[in-house]
Chain A
């Protein structure tokens, strides 16, 4: 030991530190690893070369430009859907509300990831206002509303800072309210707004609306089913188990199709249910079954002492469930719930089975109707895939952030 006291700090042996050392360790660690590196590097180089050549020279992105705004709102603003009026501003108003609410959440949580999300939405929306006119013939009014997302974000932040709308629970209630208001606005039929039947809603807007509807309504239903499955009343428990297992055993697409035939039968004749509502009901029920299993897993992971401590403090059973068990159970399964929401968003693409024109079907219908573009279907579907990927990747990114954020105070 005595020797080390005066031992000088030596530099590491050559080729064990720095970029070269890193490469030696991680790319050429062994003969096999080196070979793998060379092979995969070659594959990447060739793949990149052909992809870039294809993207910039052989691919024809005209099909994307041609569809333009229809990807976003489908036929919503078409003359046949919204005669005599310009209806584009209604989905735009929904977007503005969403941006403002993100601003509110940013002000309340002061979280970096919420801030990033808010700016991403506002700036991306605004950026679309600067697309050249020759590309999509977008009017100045549309562009102005897109640009308005930036001030909307600021306004939302100010609201979250300086008004009573300053707690997470209030902001969540406001979000649900804004969502329902958006649905109402899109539907129209009041204050001189031309009604737009739901069958005409389409594009990415439809995917997002269906996913949000699914999340908003399936969440409480799923929690209820989870509690029902854990109840000690046999009838209730059996019904919940049966419902959950049947829903989880069937493909969504089968349920969606059958909903068009069977759901009307389960309601009295002339019950006002359009095909979109029926689809939304099925998506909610389907998603709730999966949600229930996740929440049940969370409830099972809780220590029984938690509920005992709560009861000993004098909280009633419902208060214990609401304030102690559920918050912990849900927080324990955030990753699973996030995956569930991502799956739900991806599943909205299945509405093709009931002839709804979501973003995928907008593209598909275009190819089928214009066979001269048949060879450019791949450009189209790559574009749609990237759009979906951006959304789902953002969702999984923010769920991970939320998990670490809420991880504070957890063992």
Chain B
């Protein structure tokens, strides 16, 4: 069960799921997920609500604890070992549907909190990095404001900057645009596109088909806790093989 070298999967697979199961009480949410994500790959996960797609990506950094199977991130297995949990959480950034910015901290303090407390960076250095990140997500002028003074799109961009401040190798996005008004979705997706171009490994739960078509290397379709179908976006959107995929695509394209 430890991370002995021979168990470590091939090094270009940064995330590996091996037959992962999870139950909420007696409800079987994840029913044997086996897949892997290559370094630098952008994976979009789609599926109807309740299909387990959120639970799937939240299992990567143990916001949901899996009960069977194995998860590896960057060669480290997610076990009950605190050292492993800390290493993986430091390596994985996450962006939430409801932003989850800390309302009692200013934007700059939201971003520098984890680098200072976890990575023990000096405050000055952390702030410099934070300002550079704010520049990158396009809102350098909002550093001293509080989250409630920002629009939803700006908040989500701060949340992305906050996750990037820990210099992660993987970014998880749990429906990052679902809580946004249409005109703000664009500004968040632009930041995510830029991030994708920079070579970041990304796992994204989203319903944005346009974004998936354009930025994803692979689309995973989940239903009832299993991966029903996966493939490059072109194939997936134009030639889905499974009936359930066709039905789902038909529903979201014609609603």
Contact = CB atoms under 8 A, between A and B. Distances in A.
B162 interface: yes
Given A324-B102, A327-B104, A328-B104, A313 B96 contact: no
Interface string B41-74: 0000000000000000000010100000000000
Contacts of B145: 409
A223 to B, nearest CB: 16
Interface in A277-331: 303, 305-306, 308-316, 319, 323-324, 327-328, 331
Nearest to A306: B100
Interface residues of B, number: 30
A315 B118 contact: yes
Contacts of A308: 63, 96, 100
Interface in B64-112: 86, 89-90, 92-94, 96, 98, 100-106
B180 interface: no
Given A312-B61, A319-B117, A303 B102 contact: no
A310 B162 CA distance: 11
Contacts of B106: 409
A314 B104 contact: no
A319 to B, nearest CB: 6
Contact of A409 (B63, B113, B147): B147
B163 interface: yes
A411 interface: yes
Contact of A309 (B90, B96, B148, B149): B96
Nearest to A409: B146
Contact of B166 (A310, A313, A408): A313
Given A319-B117, A411-B148, A313 B104 contact: no
B118 A313 contact: yes
Given A327-B104, A410-B103, A312 B94 contact: yes
Contact of A315 (B96, B117, B163): B117
A409 B104 contact: yes
Interface string B141-157: 00001111100000000
A141 to B, nearest CB: 47
Nearest to B159: A309
B209 interface: no
A411 B149 CA distance: 9
B100 A311 contact: no
A371 to B, nearest CB: 58
A131 B154 CA distance: 60
B232 to A, nearest CB: 29
Contacts of B185: none
A230 B86 CA distance: 24
Interface string A383-411: 00000000000000000000000001111
B90 A312 contact: no
B102 A314 contact: no
Given A313-B166, A314-B89, A408 B114 contact: no
B63 to A, nearest CB: 5
The size class of the interface chain A forms with chain B is 20 to 34
Given A309-B94, A409-B147, A409-B149, A315 B114 contact: yes
Interface-centre pick from A306, A308, A309 (highest chain B CB count, 10 A): A309
Contacts of B114: 313-315
A311 B113 contact: no
A303 B118 contact: no
B100 A303 contact: yes
A305 B98 contact: yes
Contacts of A316: 86
A408 B102 contact: no
Contacts of A327: 104
A408 B104 CA distance: 8
Contact of B146 (A310, A311, A408): A408
A314 B148 contact: no
A331 B104 contact: yes
A309 B89 contact: no
A320 to B, nearest CB: 10
Contacts of B163: 312-313
Interface in A313-367: 313-316, 319, 323-324, 327-328, 331
Contacts of B101: 309
Nearest to A307: B100
A310 B148 CA distance: 18
Contact of A313 (B98, B103, B162): B162
Nearest to A407: B148
Contacts of B86: 314, 316
Given A315-B118, A319-B117, A309 B104 contact: no
A309 B118 contact: no
A312 B98 CA distance: 14
Interface-centre pick from B61, B86, B104, B147 (highest chain A CB count, 10 A): B104
Contacts of B94: 309, 312-313
Contacts of A323: 113, 117
A303 B97 CA distance: 13
A129 B247 CA distance: 87
B100 A309 contact: yes
B118 A312 contact: no
B146 A312 contact: no
A410 B145 CA distance: 11
Given A306-B100, A409-B105, 12 more contacts: A305-B96, A305-B98, A305-B100, A308-B63, A309-B100, A311-B89, A312-B93, A314-B118, A409-B103, A409-B147, A410-B146, A410-B148
12 contacts: A303-B100, A309-B96, A312-B163, A313-B113, A313-B163, A315-B113, A315-B114, A319-B118, A324-B102, A328-B103, A408-B146, A411-B148
Query: Lowest 4 A-B CB distances belong to which pairs?
Result: A409-B146, A309-B100, A313-B114, A305-B100
